[in-house]
Chain A
Amino acid sequence: MSKKILIIDDDPNILDYLSALFTDNGYDVQVAPDAVKGLEAARRFLPDLITLDIEMPGDWGPRFYRQMMQVKELKNTPVIVISGLSGNEHAIPKAIAAVKKPFDREELLRIVKEAIG
């Protein structure tokens, strides 16, 4: 069974891009446009990895992460931060990687592969 990735980003274009990229590389993908929907999707979908945008309207990425940590089934799920904010590598200290937009897709795929195969 293929590994599952949940993508959380408020920009539909980027959701589209990441979802195509991961699907093309054999992952099972779901997307969420904000942190609230992201949390719902995560509970339901139980992904192997989450990519998270830091700067989103409504609930910010870091708050999503704190809430996610309180869910037993999710708290060990690796998170990759993908954001345009510089200094994003410190926003979520436990994230396995922080990628800056615009990112190198080979690099992103390599990080994902290292994390979940």
Chain B
Amino acid sequence: MAETVLIMDSDREHGEAIRTYLQRHQYDVTVACDAQKILVHLENQTWNILLGDPLIDGGTAASGIADFLKQDAMVQLIVYGTTEQVDRAMDRFALDASAYMELPVNSKALMLNMARARNHSLKNRKIDRYVQRLTDLHTARNHFLQLFDSVPCFISVQDRNLRITAINKWFKQHFGNSVGGYCYQIYKHRTSPCEKCPVIQTFEDGQIHSTEEVVTALSGRQYHVLTHTAPIMDEKDEITQVMEISTNITQIRQLQDHLTSLGLMLGSMSHGVKGMLTALDGGIYQLETGLQKQDEARVSRAFEQVKTMADKIRDMGLEILNYARSRQMQYAPVPVADLVENVMKNIRPGAAKNNVICKVFLPDSPGIIEIDSVWMESALVNFLENAVDACAYDHEKPVHKVSLTVTIEPAERVCFRIQDNGVGMDQETREKMFTLFFTSKGSRGTGLGLFIAHRVIQQHGGTVQVTSFLNQGTELIICLPRIPPGSVGENGVNPVSS
């Protein structure tokens, strides 16, 4: 397509002469003889070259022309005129014009300037395109960076030595700015790579690999993550880095564990429940027949049995509810003496019923301990109830005793020693006593109580030490730190589901 040229010349004949000349060189030329016409032409059409005196009619079109040049970098201005006109145009347009020529116009110079203007225009067009492309690239880069950052996964890019070279925002938030650190160090606090590292596998075969891992964040929290790796190749298709994407599935795992053990529990408990229901049937039968026979001894025995069974079924229901409820640990400072008092309040009635003597030994000013009192009380009650039960099952010794001794040990540990002279445990029972659903009480136990109690102690950063001899008795030493490890800054999690 021919280039469009607008000639601005108050001397119409001169303008027409130039037009004829340019038309011969394949330009599409229009002549305007005054400022008003120039402005109309500028408004109605696009132009490649403006040629002539831009200050025609005393410069009334000058600002319109300047605007036109500014709007479109492709438009070139070539000035010609008298010495005076050119001089004024130079003052007004300076570098905005691509050439200045004095009259009379030299035809060779005109053609050269026209060609140069065209080149200028093409170069400008090219630069424009490059700028546009660069802007696009920049936008795309920002866009990808934003995507990378806002993906709700922990993403890291690693080199062959498992050194992290890039991380996204999520990673940074949970594991700190760890660029330059080693993956195994940041994620797992290890000093050497993990076994079966998926990143190493991807470096080896270029395939995507996945694993499930447990990692520890800056806060000390542990996350279950599902990890996928993908190779990053250079232009020669060689793997230079590997991207690792880890999705936090902690909640899913917790829920799954919880559901699994709940299902397991219901399955294993059904036997106990059946026993209890049968015994309840028995109680009701004896009550019925006792009333028929007016056998008062049988009635009162049966009533006692019905009551006991109702209690047991209620307890079991409560234990299930207790277990099923997902409760966060809520630590609060509690005086040790209050804790012991509350626990013993629960124990004394049952102990008295079984003729078991209860003794408590507290040191002077045992101080304060930070615990979740609901969980901790039920844990200690559970240990003590088992001590009372162990005495109730024993028929050898004339006097049965359960004692609770509190001592303050070094390193701010509060220890509770629970001793009984009940039936004691053999080695197998001792080893399994904290296992889920293990019970030595046959149909009378759920296998949940000590399991949960033990988890509560562990959750508080405590330990349980067991010594027991069959037919002699049992000693439990439960040691707790005054301040549990998880209490600072964040709440722990449900001890049975974590």
The reply to whether chain A is a binding partner of chain B is yes
B271 proximity list for chain A (CB < 8 A): 55, 84-85
Total A-B Cβ pairs within 8 A: 67
B471 to A: closest C-beta gap in Å? 14
Please tell me if B348 contacts chain A, counting CB pairs below 8 Å: no
**B98 touches A (CB below 8 Å):** no
Answer whether residue A63 sits at the interface, using C-beta atoms and an 8 A cutoff. no
Closest A residue to B440 using CB positions: A57
Q: Is the CB of A10 within 8 A of B443?
A: yes
Closest 7 CB pairs of A and B: A17-B282, A13-B279, A84-B274, A102-B277, A101-B278, A102-B278, A84-B271
Nearest Cβ in chain A — how far from B292, in angstroms?
10
A-B contact pairs, 14 of them (CB 8 A): A11-B444, A14-B282, A16-B305, A17-B281, A17-B282, A18-B282, A55-B442, A84-B272, A84-B275, A84-B443, A101-B275, A101-B278, A103-B281, A105-B285
B281 and A105 contacting across the interface, CB-CB below 8 Å: yes
- Give Cα A44 to B309, complex, Å: 33
Kindly state whether residue B253 has any CB partner on chain A within 8 Å: no
Looking at chain B's contact residues, the main secondary structure is helix
**Alpha-carbon distance between A90 and B3 when the two chains are bound, in angstroms:** 102
Interface size on B, residues (CB 8 A): 24
Known pairs A20-B285, A20-B286, A20-B289; A57 contacts B442 (CB<8 A): yes
B425 to chain A, nearest CB (A): 12
Q: Is the CB of A13 within 8 A of B305?
A: yes
Give B262-318 interface residues, CB cut-off 8 Å to A: 270-272, 274-275, 277-283, 285-286, 289, 298, 301, 305, 308-309
Using Cβ atoms and an 8 Å threshold, which residues of chain A touch B282? Answer: 13-14, 16-18, 20-21
Residue positions of A touching B, CB distance < 8 A: 10-11, 13-14, 16-18, 20-21, 24, 55-57, 84-85, 100-103, 105
Is the beta-carbon distance between B275 and A11 smaller than 8 angstroms?
yes
Chain A contacts for B278, CB-based, 8 A: 11, 13-14, 17, 84, 101-103
**With a CB–CB cut-off of 8 A, which chain A residues contact B301?**
16
A74 nearest CB across to chain B (Å) = 25
B274 A11 Cβ-Cβ under 8 A: no
Supply 12 further A-B pairs (C-beta < 8 A) apart from A13-B282, A20-B298: A11-B443, A13-B278, A13-B309, A20-B285, A20-B286, A21-B285, A57-B442, A84-B274, A84-B275, A84-B278, A84-B443, A103-B281
Q: Whole-angstrom distance from the CB of A12 to the nearest CB of chain B?
A: 9
Q: How far is the CB of A63 from chain B (nearest CB, A)?
A: 16
**Bound-state Cα–Cα, A11 to B277, Å:** 12
B442 to A11, Cβ gap below 8 A?
Answer: yes
> For residue A17, which residues in chain B have a CB less than 8 angstroms away from its CB?
278-279, 281-283, 285-286
| A14 with B279: CB separation less than 8 A | yes
A17-B281 Cα distance, complex, nearest whole Å:
8
Q: How far is the CB of A9 from chain B (nearest CB, A)?
A: 9
Output the least CB separation between A112 and chain B (Å): 15
Residues of B within 8 A of A57 (CB): 440, 442
**A105-B278 Cα distance, complex, nearest whole Å:** 10
A62 to B270, CA, bound (A): 21
Measured CA separation A82–B440 after assembly (Å): 20
What's the minimum C-beta distance from A53 to chain B, rounded to whole angstroms?
A: 9
- Report Cα–Cα, A84/B279, bound state, in Å: 12
Contacts of B305 in A (CB 8 A): 13, 16
Which residue of chain B has the shortest Cβ distance to A23 in the bound complex?
B289
**How far is A63 from B283 in the complex, measured between Cα atoms in Å?**
30
> How far does the alpha carbon of A14 sit from the alpha carbon of B283 in the complex, in Å?
9
> What A residues does B443 contact at CB under 8 A?
10-11, 55, 84
**Shortest Cβ distance from A16 into B: residue:** B282
In the complex, which residue of chain A has the Cβ closest to the Cβ of B429? A57
* Residues in A whose Cβ lies below 8 Å from that of B298: 20
Chain B CB within 10 A, most for which of A13, A18, A20:
A13
On whether the beta carbons of B283 and A101 are closer than 8 Å, the reply is no
Q: Complex: how many Å from CA A16 to CA B283?
A: 9
Q: Identify the closest chain B residue to A55 (Cβ).
A: B271
| Distance between Cα atoms of A26 and B282 in the complex (Å) | 17
CA distance A55 to B279 in the complex (A): 15
A106–B313 CA distance with the chains assembled, in angstroms? 25
Q: Within 8 Å CB of A85, what residues of B?
A: 271
B184 to chain A, nearest CB (A): 48
Chain A residues, Cβ within 8 Å of B280: 102
Chain A CB within 10 Å — which of B274, B285, B286, B443 has the most?
B443
Docked-complex contact B289 and A24, CB < 8 angstroms: yes
A103 partner residues in chain B, CB cutoff 8 A = 278, 281
Contact of A101 with B277 in the complex, beta carbons under 8 Å? yes
Residue of A nearest to B272 (CB): A84
CB-CB contacts below 8 Å: B68-87 with A: none
The answer to whether A11 touches B285 (Cβ under 8 A) is no
Check if B289 sits within 8 Å of A13, measured CB to CB: no
Q: Encode contact with A along B233-277: 1 for CB under 8 Å, 0 otherwise.
A: 000000000000000000000000000000000000011101101
User: In the complex, A103→B277 CA distance in Å?
Assistant: 9
